[in-house]
Chains A and B, each alone.
Chain A
Amino acid sequence: MKLHRAKPEGSSANAAEPSRRPGSEEETIVHSLAEGISAEELARVEEMEREVAALQAKPSRKLERGIGITLVVLSIAGLIGSRAVTVRTETGGIDPRWWPTVICALVLVLSIMLIVVSLTKPPFDREDLEVTNRDGWQRLIWAIILVVLYLMAWKLSGNFVVPSVALLVLLMWVNDGRGLKALVFYPLGTVTCIYLLFHTLLRVPL
Chain B
Amino acid sequence: MNPVVEGLNALLDPTVMLGMALGIGLGMLVGMFPGITATMAVALASGFTLTLSPVAGLAVLLSIYTGANFGDRIPAILVNTPGTPAAISTTFDGYPLAKQGKAGLALVISGFAAAIGILLSMVVFSLAAVPIASFALQFGPYEFFALVVLGLTVMISISSKSLIKGVVAGLFGLFLATVGRDPMTADPRFTFGLDVLSDKLDFIAVVIGVFGIAEVLDQMLSHNKLRLKPVASLGRWWPNKQEYKEMGKPLLIGSVIGTVVGIVPAAGADIAGLIGWDRAKGLSKHPEEFGKGSFEGLVAADSASTSTLGGALTTTMALGIPGDSVNAVMLGSMLIWGLQPGPQLFSDHPDLVASIAGIMVISTIVALGLNLFRVRGLVKILDLPRNYLWASILILCVIGTYATTNDIDTVVVMLSAGVVGVLMKRTGFPAGPVVLGLLLGPLAESNLRRALVIDGAAGFLTNPIAAILLGFAVFAFGGTLVGRIRAGRKESASKAAALAEAKATEAR
Contacts and interface: CB of A to CB of B under 8 A. Distances in A.
Contact of A32 (B89, B99, B172): B99
B215 to A, nearest CB: 8
Interface in A125-156: 125-126, 129-133, 135-137, 139-140, 143-144, 147-148, 150-151, 154-155
A172 B233 contact: no
A37 B102 CA distance: 9
B189 A100 contact: yes
A2 B218 contact: yes
Contacts of B406: 204-205
Contact of A130 (B91, B222, B399, B487): B222
B71 to A, nearest CB: 14
Contacts of B221: 132-133, 136-137, 139-140
A194 B488 CA distance: 50
Interface in B415-472: 415, 419, 422, 425-428, 445, 448-449, 452-453
A133 B178 contact: no
Contacts of B48: 197-198, 202, 204
A142 to B, nearest CB: 9
Interface string B390-422: 111011101100110010100110010001001
Contacts of B34: 1-4
Contacts of A88: 185, 187
Contacts of B216: 143
A124 B487 CA distance: 13
A31 interface: yes
A171 B428 CA distance: 28
Nearest to B78: A45
Interface residues of B, number: 101
A168 B387 CA distance: 10
Given A100-B175, A103-B171, A194 B395 contact: yes
B395 A103 contact: no
B347 interface: no
A73 B281 CA distance: 47
Nearest to B90: A6
Given A15-B274, A100-B178, A198-B48, A44 B229 contact: yes
Given A129-B218, A177-B388, 19 more contacts: A1-B224, A1-B228, A2-B219, A3-B81, A3-B228, A10-B491, A16-B89, A17-B291, A37-B231, A85-B187, A88-B185, A114-B168, A136-B220, A140-B221, A143-B220, A147-B398, A171-B394, A198-B48, A204-B406
Interface of B: 34-35, 48, 51-52, 79-82, 85, 88-89, 91-92, 96, 99-102, 161-162, 164-165, 167-168, 171-172, 174-175, 178, 182, 184-185, 187-190, 215-224, 226-229, 231-233, 235, 274-275, 277-278, 281, 290-293, 382, 385-388, 390-392, 394-396, 398-399, 402-403, 406, 408, 411-412, 415, 419, 422, 425-428, 445, 448-449, 452-453, 483-484, 487-488, 491, 494
23 contacts: A1-B227, A1-B228, A4-B82, A5-B81, A16-B89, A17-B291, A18-B92, A27-B292, A36-B235, A48-B79, A48-B226, A52-B81, A86-B187, A94-B449, A100-B175, A110-B168, A129-B222, A144-B415, A144-B419, A147-B394, A151-B411, A175-B220, A204-B48
Closest 9 CB pairs of A and B: A18-B291, A2-B35, A175-B387, A35-B101, A130-B222, A96-B182, A16-B278, A136-B221, A37-B101
Interface of A: 1-6, 10-20, 24, 27-28, 31-32, 34-38, 41-42, 44-45, 48-49, 51-52, 55, 57, 63, 67, 71, 78, 81, 85-89, 94-96, 98-100, 103-104, 106-107, 110-111, 113-114, 117, 124-126, 129-133, 135-137, 139-140, 143-144, 147-148, 150-151, 154-155, 164, 167-168, 171-172, 175-177, 182, 186, 190-191, 194, 197-198, 202-206
